[in-house]
Each structure stands twice: as C-alpha cells, then as structure tokens.
Amino acid sequence: MKRTPVLAASLLALLAATAPAQAGENPYGQGLDHCAATGTGALACHFDLAPGTYDVTVTLGGDTAGATGISGETRRALLAETPTAAGERIRRSFTVDVRDPEGEPTGPAGTPGLDLLLDGSAPRVDSLRVTPAPHATRLFLIGDSTVCDQPGDPYTGWGQRLPVHLKRGVAVANHADSGESTVTYLANPALFDTVEAAIRPGDPVLIQLAHNDKQTDAATYRAHLTTLVERVRARGGAPVLVTPVVRRWFNADGTLDNGVALLVNGLGVDHPAEIRALAASLGTPLIDLTALTKARVEELGPEASKALYLTTEKRDNTHTSVRGATEYAALVAAELKAQGLLPERALR
C-alpha cells in the first residue's frame, strides 16, 4: 500500500497518520500508523517501547515544498529542520535514548515508550521507521539545570539541543538533573549510580557540575570530580570534564564579572580553574565551555546576549533560552569533533 505524504493540511496529515502499516513491518510500528495529526500540520507519534536505544529513519518530503524538524521525549531536539523541494524525498536517520523517567532523573516520569513530534515550518513526512539499536554508543551527560532536558518552555538545557549534531549510531543519554552539585550527584542513587550501571566500554561521559557547588570547598570539589572520573573509567567509559557555562553578569566595561559570571563560589573556589587543573592532572579530556561561552556572551555584549538567557522572560541570567542552549550545544559538538572525542562520521 502506498503511503500518503504528510502535507500541511491537517486532513491530509490525519490520513497519513491513520494509514495502515505496510506488510512486513516489525512490531515497533514502522510507518505513520503510530502518529496522529496535531491540528497544526505536525504529527505526534507514540511507540510502546521498553527503555533502550532505537534507530529512527524518516523519509522527508512530499509533492509540495516543505521544512521538517523532529523533536522527542522531553523536548529533545533530534533532527534539525530540513528543507525539501517539491517532489523531493530525503532520508535521515538518528538514534534516540529511551529512558524511564524520560527527562530529568528526579523529575516527572513522562510517558512510557518513545514520543516523537514531526513538525517544522512546513512539515512533510513520507515514511517513518523505528528499530532497536542495542549496540549503539551512548553519550552520557552528567550535569545540572543548564544541561538537563528541561520539561517546560522557555527553559532549555544545552544537552537538550545536542542530539541534532549526532548521526545514527550515537544517542545522547542526558542524565543531568536540576539543582545538583558534585555532592548530591554522587549521593543520590537515581543519579550517578544509575549512569554508572549503564556505561559500556567506549561510552563517552561528559561531566559538567559547578553551578550548585556554592558551598563546596576546593578539596571536596576536586575529590568528588576525581571520584566521578575514576568510576567512569572503571566501567570502561571515557570521561570528559566540562567547565560550566557562564552566567550573564557584566562589569561596567562590557566584560563578564570574574566572580558570579565565571563561577567562583562563596568560598572563593574558582570552579573552571579547578576543573582545568584536574583535567590536566588526571589526563582527562577537557571541554572549556566556560571560555567558549564567555567569548560568545562578551561578543554579543550586555544587550544582545539577553537572547541567550531568560533575562527578559524570567530575569534569569543563569538558565538558557532555546537559542542559548542551541548555540552552546553547537560549541560542545564542535569540541567533540575537534578533539576526536567522537568519530567524525558520527557528527553532522
């Protein structure tokens, strides 16, 4: 049976969403029969899957020109908006990590299984296929609210926007959690113990914890980060230390404040400096996201940089907007490529 392309009109989208599956499809619902029109031309799809990693292959395009993006689970960006010309068909694939809970480890449980949203400015989808990918590499993220899969708009963590930079074969497993420090991340079994048990040899593990270590002394901070690195290595994982994103806190001269903005805590502990020194002493790769985000925020200046944070919406100069998280995720992806932390073929 020939599938009907998803067009902008809700009626045609609904017809495609309810079309029967093609013969020979496996139990994971390869096709658009697991999708329903949202009324805006987008498709919301649900697959009853157990936790694990899954490949998603989608054919984009239709009889008219379109532009389609895909998000999933707790507002994760999975495929960047992709244009298609009239009559054109483009196949794209990515790998997604299905977890329970699906977002923050201590947050709402979310919906069991896999949820995808096929949208964009003019969504056009011809076919959809979901298959198990049990041997996929997982890129684990350990962090706080600036990294996590934020459940509610406009808050967005950079880890939430990272998957769009990865091709099929590598899935982002974002175990960052709001409010966590090096102390609490190790203490809560729902956090590091869960990550540790899931790590397989070769899995990269990015560690960015600092924002909530406001009262952690330098020796304790170093000891906890060292413990995280050593336990990741013991599982065969590849730890990567990441300095924290800056806060948008300017001096009068247009530079960022050396204390609040650059994550020096109330005890005088310079978190980025501690992380840089520890990475050197442990021989651990380092993504200096503090330096990278500092350069970007200062480049934009006090006014334009508001768009990277929730300054206008929430008077919040710590948490990023969709734009800020998108830009910061791109910085991380560029470092993954430049430092060879992932094979170049794994990155878009």
Which pLDDT does position 31 carry in this prediction? Answer: 78
- Domain enclosing residue 65, as ranges: 10-132
Domain boundary among 132, 154, 177: 132
Domain boundary among 102, 132, 162: 132
Q: Give residue 39's pLDDT band: very low, low, confident or very high (50, 70, 90).
A: confident
Residue located via tokens 């599982």: 235
Q: Which of 261, 258, 248 is nearest to 303 (CA)?
A: 248
Which pLDDT does position 6 carry in this prediction? Answer: 37
Residue 191 burial by Cβ neighbours in a 10 Å radius (0-12, 13-18, 19+)? buried
The answer to whether 56 touches 94, Cβ cutoff 8 Å, is yes
What value does the mean pLDDT take over residues 259-279?
Answer: 97
CATH of the domain at 96: 2.60.120.260
State the chain's mean pLDDT as an integer. 91
Q: Where are the beta strands (DSSP E) in 227-306?
A: 238-242, 286-287
- Written as six digits, the tokens of 39 are 């009324």
- Write the pLDDT tens digit of every residue in 201-231: 999 999 999 999 999 999 999 999 999 999 9
**One domain, residues 49 and 175:** no
Distance CA 43, CA 54 (A): 19
CATH of the domain at 208: 3.40.50.1110
Q: What separation in angstroms does the CA of 315 have from each of 192, 228, 248, 307? A: 31, 33, 11, 12
Which pLDDT does position 244 carry in this prediction? Answer: 98
Q: What is the pTM of this model?
A: 0.90
**One domain, residues 30 and 165:** no
Give the CA angle between residues 74, 78, 23 to the nearest 5°: 100
SS3 content of the chain, % helix, strand, coil (to 5): 30, 30, 40
Residue 324 burial by Cβ neighbours in a 10 Å radius (0-12, 13-18, 19+)? buried
> Is the predicted pLDDT of residue 10 greater than 70, yes or no?
no
The answer to whether 95 touches 163, Cβ cutoff 8 Å, is no
Distance CA 275, CA 297 (A): 21
Domain boundary among 115, 132, 149: 132
**One domain, residues 280 and 317:** yes
258 located within any domain: yes
**One domain, residues 216 and 302:** yes
The 3-class secondary structure across 9-50, one letter per residue, is CHHHHHHHHCCCCCCCCCCCCCCHHHEEECCCCCEEEEECCC
- Write the pLDDT tens digit of every residue in 299-335: 999 999 999 999 999 999 999 999 999 999 999 999 9
**One domain, residues 163 and 250:** yes
- Write the pLDDT tens digit of every residue in 94-134: 999 999 999 999 999 889 999 999 999 999 999 999 999 99
Percent of the residues in the chain that have a pLDDT greater than 70, as a whole number: 91
Total number of domains constituting the chain: 2
Which pLDDT does position 247 carry in this prediction? Answer: 98
Q: Give residue 29's pLDDT band: very low, low, confident or very high (50, 70, 90).
A: very low
Q: Are strands 66-72 and 114-122 parallel, antiparallel or unpaired?
A: antiparallel
198 located within any domain: yes
Cis peptide before 343 (omega within 30 of 0): no
